[in-house]
Structure 1
Amino acid sequence: MDQWYRIDNTGKIFHAVSNATNSSVFRVSMILKRQVEPEILQKALDVVAVRFPTLTVRVRRGLFWDFMEHNDEQLLVKPETDYPCGPIHPKENNAYLIRVLYFKKRISVEVFHSLTDGAGAVEFLKTLVYQYLKELKKDLSEDGLVLTPEDNPHQEEIEDSFERYATSHAVKRPGRRAEKAYQIHGTPFNTPGINVVHGVMDGAALNAYAKERGTSLTAFLTSVLIQVIHDKKMTQDMTDGVVSVALPVNLRRQFPSVTLRNFFSVANISIPMDGYIHFNEIIDEVSGQLKENTDKENLQKGINRFVSFQRNFWMRVVPVFLKYPVMRFAFNQVGERAKTLTLTNLGNVKLPETMAPYIDRMEVILYPTRKSPINCGISTLNNHLTITFARSIEENDIIQSFFKELRVITGLDVTVYSNDWGNVYE
C-alpha cells in the first residue's frame, strides 16, 4: 500500500488559492563557485529524494480535502529556461509539486507552498547541495547542520505541528476585520512572467547598523521599505490609509519543532500614512508591532484559531469543490486586502564549515500575486545578505528607491543584479 499524507493545515489554503496570477510557488537557491554539472546533480537528487518523503509526493483529489501520496516516478533536474516561480504543472513534472533547476553556478529548488515553507525548503536544498558536493568527491562533514541522506526520516519531520501545538479547538469568531491596506498597482508585463532584482551586501555590517538603530535587521529593512512606499504614495497625493507589510514568522523558534511541513504564521505590520512621518518613528512603530505580533501568547492564539477553523464541522463535511471557492474568496478579501506586500526573511542559513568554500551565497524568491505584484525575500549565507524583489509589473520605481535609500541611510555598498525578464533593472 502506498504511503499517503494529509495536507497540513496551511497547505490546504495554497491548494485553494493558487491560480494563473498566484502560482503559490517559491524558490530557494544556492550559488556555487563552480559551474553546475547536471549529471552529478541528478545523481545527488536521486539519493536525496528518498530522504524527504513529504516533498516527493503527488497530490490526489479527495472528496473533502486533497491528499498526498508517495510518487514512484523519477524527479528530474532541468535546466532553467523560464522565469522563476512559474506554476508547476504536474503533468509536465512527473506529477511532482517540486522542481530542481540549474543555471550556470546556481542550483534552485522551487516548491508549491502546500508542501512546505521556507524553512523546510532550505533543509531540502542544503541536503541536495551537500550530496552534490559528495558526488564530486569533496571531503565533507555534516556537523549536525545537514539532514544527511543516510539517515531515515524522523517521524517528527512529517508531523503537522499546528495540530501538535494547538491548545484549544474551540471555534472563535474572528476579530475585527483588518483595515484595507494601500496596494501597489502597475502595468502587467506584455508576456506574463516575473522580473527579479537581487541586492547583495555585507550581512554582519547591516545587522550591526540595525542594532545601532535599536532594532532588528528584519524590522529595519521593513521600515526602509515602508518609508519608500509612503514616499511613493505622497507623490500620488495619497495621504491616508495604511501601508502594511506581511512578515511570515517561523513558528519553530517559539514552538520547538523539526517538521519539514508548513509551520509558520504571518505578522502584518501596518503603519498609518496620513502625511509626513519621520523614519525614526517608523522604526519604533515597526519594532513594537513586530515584538507584539511574535509574542508567544499571540502566536499561540493564531495556532488555535487556525486549527479550530480547519476543524469546524462545516469545513469538514463540505465537499472540496464547494470549499475551495469559498476559501479563495476569503483569502482575497481578508488576507490579500490587508497587505501591501510580503517580506520574508529566512535568516542566517548555517552550513558545515567544510561546505562553505564551495558556495557563495543564497537567494530566495517569493512569487508575486495580483494584489501584491511586488514581494521581497531575504536570506544570508557566508555573510552575503541577499535581498530579492520579484515583480510582475513593469514599474520598478519602488525597488530602485529601496536600494538607493538603503545605501544612503546605511552608507553600505549594495551590489544589484537582475534577470532579463520584462524591464531590466537600471
Structure 2
Amino acid sequence: MKPAFYEPSVCMCTPDNPNTMGICVTLTEPVNCDALKEAVERLRVRFPYFYVRVKLEGNNLIVVPNDLPVVIRSTWDPILLCSAEANYHLLSFKFEGNRLAAEVSHSITDGAGFLPYFKSVLYYYLSTVTGQEFDPTGIRLIGDEIPEAETGNPFADIDLDASDEPLYQKPPVTDYFRLENPVKDGKRECTAFYLRFPEEQIMQYCKENDGSPNVLFSVLLAKAARRYDPKDERTVSCLISVDMKAQLGKFENYRMFIDTAFVDMPKEQADYDISKACTKARGQLILQAQPENVRYTLKTRKAGYEKMEQMPLQMCADVLKQALGAHRASFCVSYANSRSFGPLDPYIQEVYLLSEPNVTDVMVELSCINHHFFAMFGQPFSSEDFFRAFLAELDDAGIPYDIVRKEPFRLCGVRYDDIEGVNL
C-alpha cells in the first residue's frame, strides 16, 4: 500500500543533505544517563511514531516500528541516523554535563510536532531525578489515548483539490545576496553561535517597530548583510518559516508541514530605519502566510506527491535530492513557540532549536523560555565576520544580548545501512 501524501517522505533526508533537526536544553543539574534512558524508552508507547525505522517496501520507502532501544550518547560527537550505530532509528539523544539534546530526522516531524515529545521526555526525566510530582497539565502522558488529530491526516476535513490559486504569490529572487562559503579540505566547517536576549525588551522593541521576533531578526540579518558588504547590489532574501498546520488550525499533528515565506530587502531599502523595514517585511510575510496561500501550497505539494509516486523510486530520490539540496535564499529565520515547559521551567536554563543551514548561508532558530529569547545562529563556515556584523546591528539598535557559547555545529548525519537497491 502506498503511503499517503501526508506521511513522512524519507527521501528528503540523504547523506549529502541529512536535514536533521533538534532541540537542546541546558538543565540546572548534570544529566543522569539512566534516568534519561528510562524516560525515553517508557515514552515509546505514547509516541510510537518517533520510534521507527525505514523499510523498503516495493517501490516505496516507509517507516515501520523499531523495537531496538534509542541510542543515547554521552558525547556531542554526531552519529548517523538510520544506521546500525543509531539502531536504525530516526531519533537519537546526546548529553554532556548539564546539556541535553534530541536530534530527529526532519522527514517525520518539525519543531512544533517535536516539542510535545521533548516536553514529555523532560517531564518523566525530571520527575525521576528530582522526586517531584509535577502538574501534568499540558503534558502528553503515558496512558493517554492518542487522538486521531495527532497522528491522522491533519487536513482530512479540507478539500485541498478544490483550493483556488491565491490572489498574491511572491516569486523568489534568483540573484540574491550570498556570503562567501569557504570549504576547507573538501568539508564545510559548520559553526553555531548561541545568544540570549531579555524577552521583555525584545517584545517591546517589536511593539514599537511594527515587528515580530522572526521579522525583526530577518531585518537585522539584512542590515548586517549591508554592513558586511556595502557594495553588493543584490537583494537580500530571507526565508521565514511558516507552520502550515497552525495556519489552518491544526495544532496537534506531529508531521512535518513547514513552508517558508520570502522576505526580500532590495539595496534601495538599505537606508530604511528598523521600523519601516519591519513594516515592509511583516507585510510580505502576512500576505504569503494567508490560509488561502497555505491551502494552495498543500494542494500543489499533494499533486507533486501523486505525480512522483508514479516514478521509479530511484528517479523519485534523485529528483528530491536535487530539489532539496538547492540553495534558496540568503538567510532563514524560524521561531517555534516554546514559551513555557510549565512546571519544568525552573529546571531549564536555556532552550535552543537546532536546524542545519543547508539551503541558506545563515540559519537562525529562535526559542523562548524563562523570560528570555534564545537564538541559535548557524552557518556552514567558521569565519566570524558576518556574525560580528550582525552583533553590530544589535548594538546599533540598542538590543542587549549575551553570547552564551560558540562551537562546531554537529548534528547527526544519515546513512541507510539496511536499505538496498536504491541510492540515497
Taking structure 2 as the reference length, the TM-score comes to 0.87
* 2:104 aligned counterpart, secondary structure: strand
**1:410 and 2:398 correspond:** yes
How big is each residue's C-alpha offset from its partner over 1:82-124, in whole Å with a ceiling of 9 and x where there is no partner?
26xx752422111101101111111211011011001112111
| Equivalent position of 2:245 in the other structure | 252
After superposition, the Cα gap between the structure-2 partners of 1:28 and 1:7, relative to the gap in structure 1 and judged at 3 Å, is farther
Indicate whether 1:398 and 2:386 are aligned.
Answer: yes
Q: How does 1:188-337 map to 2 (within 5 A)?
A: 188-190=183-185, 192-234=188-230, 237-239=231-233, 241-257=234-250, 258-274=252-268, 276-280=270-274, 281-312=276-307, 315-332=308-325, 336-337=327-328
Offset at residue 132 of structure 1 (A): 0.1
**Percent of aligned positions that are identical:** 18
Q: Could you tell me which residue of structure 1 aligns to residue 377 of structure 2?
A: 389
Contact 1:36 1:102 (C-alpha < 8 Å) held by counterparts: yes
Are the counterparts in 1 of residues 30 and 98 from structure 2 also a CA contact under 8 Å?
yes
Q: Matched residues in 2 for 1:421 and 1:346: separation? A: 20
**One-letter amino acid of the structure 2 residue matched with residue 74 of structure 1:** P
The one-letter amino acid of 2:349's match is D
CA contact (8 A) 1:80 1:101 kept: yes
- The answer as to 2:141 corresponding to 1:148 is yes
1:53 aligns to 2:48 (yes or no)? yes
Aligned-residue offset at 1:153: 2.3
Partner in structure 2 of residue 178 of structure 1: 172
Stretch deviating more after TM superposition (94-103 or 354-363): 354-363
The alpha carbon displacement at 1:42 in A equals: 0.7
**What's the CA shift for 1:413?**
3.5
Partners of 1:129 and 1:80 lie apart in 2 by 19
Contact kept? 1:56, 1:96, Cα under 8 Å: yes
Aligned to 2:421: none
- The partner residue of 1:367 within 313, 338, 356 is 356
Query: SS in structure 2 opposite 1:317?
Result: coil
Worse-matched range after superposition: 175-184 or 33-42: 175-184
RMSD, matched Cα: 2.7
Say whether 1:102 aligns with 2:95.
yes
Distance 1:90 1:130 in 2: 29
Q: Tell me how many residue pairs correspond in the alignment.
A: 405
User: Could you give the per-residue CA deviations for residues 19-54 of structure 1, whole angstroms, max 9, x where no partner exists?
Assistant: 444220011112110011111111111111221111
Q: Deviations over 1:204-230 (max 9, x none)?
A: 221111111122122111111111123
Secondary structure of the 2:375 match is strand
Q: 342, 345, 348: which one pairs with 2:332?
A: 342
- Contact in 2 for aligned 1:8/1:114 (Cα 8 Å): no
Residue 224 of structure 1 aligns to a residue whose secondary structure is helix
Indicate the residue corresponding to 2:414 in structure 1: none
Question: Is the 8 Å Cα contact of residues 80 and 86 (structure 2) preserved in structure 1?
Answer: no
Q: Indicate if the aligned counterparts of 1:245 and 1:341 stay in contact, CA closer than 8 A.
A: yes
